[in-house]
């Protein structure tokens, strides 16, 4: 897909394919075990492999990320994970830039993500947002999360927050309004 290089090791991103699933799972799992990322099972990764991009350095998959499309009004960057020994080499940046470009290819007007590292994403053009402005995301993933009412992730967006998403909405579920400060 793209080549990124600097004084660090060159990073190449490309669309993931089914043979990448085992490596993607191995990269994500330690982050899921620590509670940093939502867990992704091998069958789930297989079903959603077309959402994923992988980063390669020296012909080795060293990171992954996914773009979940809700519609032209909203997409979410998710499952950004980099092998610990490759952090700080530009892999995360390359993944996010590839996913931002993919969202533009689909003409998405707002890109969101939920993170515990807002500084990293802020440097890439994302700004802090309110969770309640992203109901599609809330009702897809957050309602199933044990941390729903005590979430420590920061909602961030790039682009125009949708005024009316016509997405997944259930008035019986209260969206937590508390947003932790970065």
- Here the CATH number for the domain that contains residue 117 is 3.40.630.30
Burial class (CB in 10 A: 0-12, 13-18, 19+), 85: exposed
For 84-114, write each residue's pLDDT tens digit.
Answer: 999 999 999 999 999 999 999 999 999 999 9
Residue 50 in domain: yes
Residue pointed to by tokens 């996010």: 96
Residue 54 in domain: yes
Q: Evaluate if residue 168 carries a pLDDT over 80.
A: no
Residue 29 in domain: yes
Residue 112 in domain: yes
User: Where is 23: in which H helix or E strand?
Assistant: helix 21-33
**Where would I find the beta strands (DSSP E) of 16-119?**
52-57, 60-71, 74-82, 110-115
Q: What's the pLDDT at 132?
A: 79
Q: What's the pLDDT at 180?
A: 43
Residue 180 in domain: no
Q: What's the pLDDT at 151?
A: 76
Q: What is the mean pLDDT of residues 30-52?
A: 94
Number of domains within the chain: 1
Q: Evaluate if residue 1 carries a pLDDT over 80.
A: no
In angstroms, rounded to a whole number, what is the distance separating the alpha carbons of residues 179 and 100?
24
In angstroms, rounded to a whole number, what is the distance separating the alpha carbons of residues 63 and 58?
12
Q: Evaluate if residue 115 carries a pLDDT over 60.
A: yes
Residue pointed to by tokens 């007007």: 109
Residue 172 in domain: no
Residue 164 in domain: no
In a 3-state reduction of DSSP, which class is residue 61? strand
Provide the token pair at 124.
Answer: 């890439």
In angstroms, rounded to a whole number, what is the distance separating the alpha carbons of residues 153 and 151?
6
In angstroms, rounded to a whole number, what is the distance separating the alpha carbons of residues 58 and 32?
26
Residue 170 in domain: no
Residue numbers of the domain that contains 79: 2-159
4 vs 139, residue with greater confidence:
139
pLDDT-derived band of residue 143, with 50, 70 and 90 as boundaries? Answer: low
pLDDT-derived band of residue 146, with 50, 70 and 90 as boundaries? Answer: low
Q: Provide CB contacts within 8 A for 60, sequence distance 6+.
A: none
Q: What's the pLDDT at 172?
A: 38
């Amino acid at each position: 897909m793209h080549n990124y290089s600097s004084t660090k090791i060159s990073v190449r991103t490309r669309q993931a394919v089914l043979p990448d699933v085992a490596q993607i799972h191995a990269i994500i799992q330690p982050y899921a075990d620590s509670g940093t990322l939502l867990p992704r099972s091998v069958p789930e990764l297989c079903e959603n492999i077309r959402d994923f991009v992988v980063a390669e350095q020296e012909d080795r998959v060293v990171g992954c990320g996914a773009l979940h499309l809700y519609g032209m009004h909203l997409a979410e960057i998710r499952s950004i994970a980099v092998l610990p020994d490759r952090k700080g080499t530009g892999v995360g940046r390359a993944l996010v830039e590839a996913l931002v470009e993919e969202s533009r290819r689909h003409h998405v007007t707002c890109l969101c993500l939920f993170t515990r590292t807002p500084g990293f994403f802020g440097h890439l053009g994302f700004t802090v947002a309110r969770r309640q402005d992203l109901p599609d995301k809330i009702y897809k993933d957050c309602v199933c999360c044990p941390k729903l009412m005590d979430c420590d992730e920061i909602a961030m967006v790039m682009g125009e927050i949708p005024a009316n998403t016509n997405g997944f909405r259930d008035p019986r579920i209260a969206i937590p309004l508390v947003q932790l400060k970065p």
